[in-house]
Amino acid sequence: MRHLPRYSFYTRIQVSFLMLILLPTIFISFLSYTITQNNVKDKIQLSNQSVLKVVAMDIGKMIDDLAYASSFFVQDRQALEPLRGFRTIDGIRSSQDDSNYHQIKDFFGQINVKTMNTDLFMFIANDNDFIVESLENWTLSPQQIEESWRHIKDRVNPDNPKVLQWLGTIHDQADEQLQDNYFIARALRDPVDNRYLATLVIVISSGYFEKLFGQIPSGQLTLIDGNGDRIASGPSEASSETVLSQAEVKNEVPIPKSGWSLQYVNSKKEVTGQISRTFYISVLVAIPFFVIFLLLSFYMAKRLHRPIRRLQAGVKQFGNGNRNIRFQEDGRDEIAELGRTLNHMLDQINALIADIEQEQEQKRVLELQTLYAQIRPHFLLNTLNSIKCSLVLQDDWQHSQKIDSLMSLLRAYLKFNESSTFRLEGKLLAHYVDIMQMRSDRQMAFVFDVPEGELELELPKLLLQPIVENAIVHGFTEEGDNHCIELSVRREEGFLRVEIKDNGDGMDEEKRCMLNDWLGSSDLDSTGSSQRVGIVNVLKRMRMTYGAEASMELLANKAGGLTVRLMIPSERMTTHDESNAR
């Protein structure tokens, strides 16, 4: 955004339209889409959790039935005796074999009455592959039961009688009916001598899981054992691995007493497919409207920019010298108001240009008058020079020297706007003191204490003369021959300290403090006394030349007089040679 002002107003309008309308719209759309997706996921997850609890309860009941059936033969002492006799038989060859067979049948009947689960079928097989089944009329025939036992016998671990062993399904291409059942086994061992007795096989009909999982309208339910292997899953066009890899919402609950877990997985297509389709359709519908809006924005931006272009072209023509150019003032909008304001401004500029031209003309007239007026000072200088020559011829050196000093001051006054140096100012001040001695008939000494390195520093011409004049006029009021004025210059901490000392009457402390406060303020125009005009002019010239850091201070000195201290920033001082180089 910081580089946007470099472009034209028209471009900025277009970019503003896009950034302030398009970007917020896109942001809000995607934010709404994301929030809706998250809300749908949360609701589906809560719903799936409820479904899982119901299904898990049903499977848990089935697990209880399996545990009861398997524990019956292990814990019931009445069932152990027939099992001991059943361990070695390979057929019914005696009445005892027949008795054991029917007793086991009766026990199966008791278990069936207890569980009342028609989806479960059980049979017991010994090492001789002799089988006793729980039901006569079940989905599997005796031959199929024998075939099933042949397939799953090697999967049973007879040394692990404490748990139900999940054997999975049978992959028999010749008999598809065998593939529709799930097999669970438990090794039965004699609690007395730990001998292997037989294997209890529990068959779960595939219809059980189809009926249980088929009630789910979407997603896929998967029953997983403790090793992470799939036991059973609901109907789905994709494999369980594919569904898990594409899972968008996944719920899982454990099945008590089994180490199994039940997972409910919904794919991304099922969860957010409809939302995504609705969103993309909305985007496709919005694109034509956005294109229409973009075209309208170009048209409106051009209409807004057209009067600005006219104003810009008019200003360029005025800058190229066409001072008669004016802008149309049709309408009451801001552009029309700007045009009226610019027309008024152009009228004022034309009037100002006319005034400047008139002032320049008057300035040329005044310059001619000033040039003419310079003839008279030159006439005075020539006359004073003739008088000086006459006095020299008469050996009157005293008055000749006074006239020489007066001529030096008169030349300085004529070149007041030129710069000077401490060396030249010292000579002018010496001439001024010489003339004032003659006027006041007093003996006055002038001491010039400036180091050699500071003599060529530039300063405004006659800057110090008003201070020396004040010292003579207001400081030396008593008669005497020991009056002295001293000019000293020193460098001090980034400043040039210029001091003009006198041994006159001085100034009382209250008045001096009041003047110092006034000199330290920024308002120097309210002098309050005509006696302050000289030092005000000195301070103003200093600040105009050296900046606002230049200052003036009045101090009492040991001789009883007054010291005027000027502080000038050293960095603003230049030498006479440097000034000429510029």
pLDDT tens, residue by residue, 354-373:
888 887 877 776 665 555 45
Q: How far apart are CA 45 and CA 219, in angstroms?
A: 11
495 pLDDT above the threshold of 90:
yes
Q: What is the pTM of this model?
A: 0.43
Residue 368 burial by Cβ neighbours in a 10 Å radius (0-12, 13-18, 19+): exposed
How far, CA to CA in Å, does 60 sit from each of 52, 105, 226?
12, 26, 15
> Assign residue 480 a region: left if phi > 0, alpha if psi is -120 to 50, beta otherwise?
left
Q: How far apart are CA 165 and CA 118, in angstroms?
A: 21
Binning pLDDT at 50, 70 and 90, where does residue 227 land? Answer: confident
Assigned CATH topology for domain 435-581: Heat Shock Protein 90 (3.30.565)
Q: Return the number of other C-beta atoms located less than 10 Å from residue 522's C-beta.
A: 7
The phi and psi torsions of 224 (rounded to 5 degrees) equal -125, 140
State residue 177's pLDDT score. 61
Q: Which amino acid does the sequence have at 425?
A: E
Q: How far apart are CA 177 and CA 148, in angstroms?
A: 11
Q: What mean pLDDT is predicted for residues 219-231?
A: 77
How far, CA to CA in Å, does 284 sit from each of 18, 27, 470?
18, 16, 92
The phi and psi torsions of 133 (rounded to 5 degrees) equal -100, 160
Lowest mean pLDDT among 109-118, 229-238, 410-419: 229-238
Lowest mean pLDDT among 383-387, 537-541, 546-550: 383-387
State residue 562's pLDDT score. 92
Radius of gyration, CA atoms only, the chain? 60
Binning pLDDT at 50, 70 and 90, where does residue 8 land? Answer: low
Domain boundaries, given as residue ranges, for the chain: 15-268, 326-372, 435-581
How far, CA to CA in Å, does 486 sit from each of 297, 471, 508?
80, 11, 21
Secondary structure (DSSP) of 464-492: SHHHHHHIIIII--S--S-EEEEEEEEEE
3-state helix, strand, coil split of the chain in percent (to 5) is 55, 20, 25
State residue 471's pLDDT score. 86
pLDDT tens per residue across span 46-100: 877 888 788 888 888 887 877 777 777 777 777 788 888 888 888 888 888 888 8
240 pLDDT above the threshold of 60:
no
Work out the mean pLDDT of the chain and round it to a whole number: 77
How far, CA to CA in Å, does 511 sit from each of 201, 232, 239, 518, 531?
125, 111, 107, 11, 13
Pairing of strands 483-492, 444-449: parallel
State residue 434's pLDDT score. 84
Binning pLDDT at 50, 70 and 90, where does residue 475 land? Answer: confident
490 pLDDT above the threshold of 90:
yes
Determine contact, residues 106/192, Cβ cutoff 8 Å. Answer: no
Task: Give the contacts of 329 (CB within 8 A, at least 6 positions apart).
Answer: 336, 339, 340, 343
Q: How far apart are CA 391 and CA 413, in angstroms?
A: 24
Residue with tokens 């000579």, as numbered in its chain = 427
Q: Which amino acid does the sequence have at 103?
A: Q
pLDDT tens per residue across span 281-334: 877 877 787 778 777 777 777 776 677 777 777 777 777 777 777 776 666 766
Straight-line distance from the first to the last Cα atom of the chain, in angstroms, rounded to the nearest whole number:
44
Binning pLDDT at 50, 70 and 90, where does residue 496 land? Answer: very high
Q: How far apart are CA 546 and CA 539, in angstroms?
A: 10
236 pLDDT above the threshold of 60:
no
